[in-house]
């Protein structure tokens, strides 16, 4: 793999193993982002009243082809949390109805669901999926045990944030469709990370981040809304809508696209981000996954704790591993202050985990540096 670190803006003195949190933007995409911002500031009125609409449509067309859906099923948001908020607040469920999710979901969204559930007297159920996961069949069976006659919505990650596991959600979506249960997929870590096609998945809603594994600038994400639901999904923020300057193609898009004055430059870089992915990232992903599988094995050896998945099909370019019970409480500070290794350590279900991400700018020596330090600690 060619050294691609020079194409990114990252501090070269840092061993950066935390792409999964906020991503990292390459120079060509960041320059495209700044070009759009300059166009906005050179003629703000013309840009926001006229030019922006074709530029947004080009981004929707490019992204829809990449993720496998129709152009008029995509809305842009600055992050998946905001995207999901609009779906949650559009739901019309009855008192006592249930929303089912796993206990691996992203904490901010779990909190959002719980707050909405308390207000609307809807029960938010977190089905326990113990680790290690062992098989796709077992995963589906354990999750489906949480489904009852009151289950109206399933909210599930395709790639989990805390445990970095690729959940085999296809069977869950298929079974939910048979029971007429809505499916909302948190795919924040999916675009640019693993192959997927939204229409083939068959879910009702899907949100993904562009600024993570597609390496767009911060604040670029999307929401897929199946056409049959567009009549009842409403924005949290209303502005001019069909009475404004947006020419279409639907009142649904008009209501969501213009939500007051804001900088939408990050959305307009999506075609550039996809081009960069196809040229530089996709050809090197197998190498990245090879290194992550090595990390998977070396974590077990050095830390002396069991893996939480069989590896292989269950992980992409990111792996989480449980830390020993006697781990120093200041391990994150040791890694950063003494070795300038940026890597997340967090608590999940009573245990502490270390999560390593490997992107095309990383080299094997980055993994070696981490393992050397962990070896000296443990």
Note the pLDDT tens digit of each residue in 272-318: 999 999 999 999 999 999 999 999 999 999 999 999 999 889 999 99
Report the pLDDT value the prediction gives residue 362, as an integer from 0 to 100.
Answer: 96
Asked if residue 7 lies in contact with residue 27, where contact means CB atoms within 8 angstroms, the answer is: yes
Q: pLDDT over 70 for what percent of the chain?
A: 99
207 bridge partner residues:
186, 223
Q: What is the mean pLDDT of the chain?
A: 96
Helix (H) or strand (E) holding 267: helix 265-268
Report the pLDDT value the prediction gives residue 246, as an integer from 0 to 100.
Answer: 75
Tokens of 205: 């809603």
- Span 154-181, mean pLDDT? 97
Strands 123-127, 98-102: pairing is parallel
User: What gap in Å lies between CA 320 and CA 18, rounded to an integer?
Assistant: 11
Q: pLDDT over 90 for what percent of the chain?
A: 93
- Give residue 75's pLDDT band: very low, low, confident or very high (50, 70, 90): very high
7/3: higher pLDDT: 7
Give the least confident one: 62-71, 247-256, 266-275: 247-256
Asked whether the CA dihedral 31, 190, 221, 13 is positive or negative, the reply is negative
User: What gap in Å lies between CA 202 and CA 181, rounded to an integer?
Assistant: 12
Helix (H) or strand (E) holding 155: strand 151-157
Residues 6+ apart with CB under 8 A from 239: 258, 259, 260
Asked if residue 104 lies in contact with residue 156, where contact means CB atoms within 8 angstroms, the answer is: no
Q: Is the pLDDT reported for residue 237 higher than 80?
A: yes
User: What gap in Å lies between CA 28 and CA 329, rounded to an integer?
Assistant: 40
pLDDT digits (tens, 9 = 90+) for 91-110: 999 999 999 999 999 999 99
Q: Is the pLDDT reported for residue 2 higher than 70?
A: no
SS (H, E, C) 173-241: HHHHHHCCCEEEEECCCCCCCCCCCHHHHCCCEEEEECCCCCCCCCCCEEEEECHHHCCCCCCCCCCCH
Report the pLDDT value the prediction gives residue 312, as an integer from 0 to 100.
Answer: 86
166 bridge partner residues:
159
Report the pLDDT value the prediction gives residue 247, as an integer from 0 to 100.
Answer: 74
Q: What is the DSSP string of 1-68?
A: ----GGGB-S-TTSEE--HHHH---BHHHHHHHHHHHHHHHHSHHHIIIIIHHHHHHHHHHHHHHHHT
User: What gap in Å lies between CA 282 and CA 287, rounded to an integer?
Assistant: 10
- Give residue 1's pLDDT band: very low, low, confident or very high (50, 70, 90): low
Q: Is the pLDDT reported for residue 245 higher than 90?
A: no
Report the pLDDT value the prediction gives residue 311, as an integer from 0 to 100.
Answer: 87
The domains found in the chain, sorted by start residue, are 5-27+285-377 (3.90.1150.10), 32-277 (3.40.640.10)
Asked if residue 102 lies in contact with residue 167, where contact means CB atoms within 8 angstroms, the answer is: yes
Report the pLDDT value the prediction gives residue 62, as an integer from 0 to 100.
Answer: 98
Report the pLDDT value the prediction gives residue 50, as an integer from 0 to 100.
Answer: 93
Mark out the alpha helices in 121-186 (DSSP H runs): 136-144, 170-178
Q: Is the pLDDT reported for residue 88 higher than 80?
A: yes
150: which DSSP letter? T
Tokens of 91: 């739901």
């Amino acid at each position: 793999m060619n050294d691609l670190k020079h194409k990114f803006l990252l501090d070269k003195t840092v061993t950066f193993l935390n792409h999964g949190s906020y991503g990292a933007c390459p120079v060509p995409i960041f320059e495209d982002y700044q070009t759009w911002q300059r166009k906005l500031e050179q003629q703000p009125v013309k840009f926001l009243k006229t030019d922006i609409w074709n530029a947004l449509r080009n981004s929707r067309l490019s992204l829809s082809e990449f993720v496998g859906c129709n152009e008029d099923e995509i809305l842009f948001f600055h992050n998946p949390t905001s995207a999901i908020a609009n779906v949650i607040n559009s739901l019309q469920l009855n008192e006592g109805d249930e929303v089912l999710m796993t206990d691996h979901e992203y904490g901010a969204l779990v909190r959002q669901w719980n707050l909405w559930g308390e207000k609307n007297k809807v029960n938010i159920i977190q089905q326990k999926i113990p680790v290690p996961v062992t098989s796709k069949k077992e995963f589906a069976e354990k999750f489906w045990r949480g489904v009852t006659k009151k289950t109206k919505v399933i909210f599930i990650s395709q790639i989990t944030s805390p445990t970095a596991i690729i959940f085999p959600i296809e069977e869950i979506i298929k079974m939910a469709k048979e029971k007429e249960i809505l499916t909302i997929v948190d795919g924040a870590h999916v675009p640019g990370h693993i192959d997927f096609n939204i229409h083939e998945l068959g879910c009702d809603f899907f949100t993904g981040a562009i600024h993570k594994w597609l390496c767009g600038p911060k604040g670029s994400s999307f929401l897929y809304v199946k056409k049959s639901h567009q009549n009842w999904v409403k924005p949290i923020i209303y502005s001019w809508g069909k009475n404004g300057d947006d020419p279409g193609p639907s009142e649904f898009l008009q209501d969501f696209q213009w939500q007051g004055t804001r900088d939408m430059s990050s959305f307009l870089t999506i075609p550039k981000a996809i081009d960069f992915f196809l040229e530089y990232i996709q050809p090197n992903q197998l190498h990245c996954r090879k290194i992550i599988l090595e990390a998977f094995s070396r974590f077990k050896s050095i830390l002396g704790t069991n893996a939480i998945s069989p590896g292989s099909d269950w992980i992409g370019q990111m792996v989480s591993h449980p830390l020993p019970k006697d781990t120093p409480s200041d391990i994150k500070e040791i890694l950063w202050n003494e070795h300038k290794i940026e890597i997340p350590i967090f608590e999940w279900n009573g245990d502490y985990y270390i999560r390593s991400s490997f992107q095309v700018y990383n080299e094997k020596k980055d993994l070696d540096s981490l393992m050397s330090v962990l070896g000296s600690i443990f």
